[in-house]
Structure 1
Amino acid sequence: MAMTSAQRRAAQLAQLQAEQERYDKAIEDAVENAAEARCKAVEELYELLEVGKTRNDKDEARRAAKLVERVSALIEQLAESDGVEAPTDGPMEAWREEPAAPDLGRAASGF
């Protein structure tokens, strides 16, 4: 027995809904993995630049600000040692002068 047009549309709708659910799950998983990777990277930077642990969310905001300060100082220090002018304002990605890969351990030891 052949399917009616309503049955065909219902089957197509079910197929599309299943596809949408798979897509939504893939996005959810990607966001979770990206967030976890960002957190791990920041925690490694905290440790590398010796930014202490916190007790609460307010302290965590201060900790993040301290990390940005230390990274900015590190960039300025590397720029000075390489004779390149560091940015004074604006987003860091606007600064594209990257000589060679810097020795971050050497520069971070100044903290």
Structure 2
Amino acid sequence: MLNKVLFVSFSLLVILLSACRRDQPFNRKLWNDAEGLDFKYRDGMLNDLLKNRKIKGMRFYQVTDSLGWPQGKKDNYIYYDIDVKYDGYPPSYVKRLYVYFKDSVAVSTKIYEHTEKKKKK
């Protein structure tokens, strides 16, 4: 009897956790869908984008054609905001996708995450 209860409890836990995941296939239109500065679908598509889309080897114009214009660009990289919590300055949480280029060809990607720790007064 105890084994049956544990099995049912574990099964429910697995179902609940998998339902909470927001993973979804990459969709160019949804990737660029924003409410102000909030891109609500990007975090859910990020795994599929990095796993199934080959960014490495793409030219700059191919990346921007697929992902839209980046939120930032400097020297040899561009970045796309994935999730940013604007509850003051600086933001309390930042998650970005960086794409690095050499001679206008993407050579690598990197996920950057940062949590701003609030100072105690």
Q: Do these two structures clear the TM 0.5 threshold for a shared fold by scoring above it?
A: no
Name the larger-Rg structure.
1
Structure in which a larger fraction of residues adopt helix: 1
Q: Identify the TM-score tier after normalising by the shorter chain.
A: 0.3 to 0.5
Considering Cα pairs closer than 8 Å and 6+ residues apart, tell me whether 1 or 2 has the greater RCO. 1
With structure 2 as the length reference, what TM-score do the two structures score?
0.30
Structure in which a larger fraction of residues adopt strand: 2
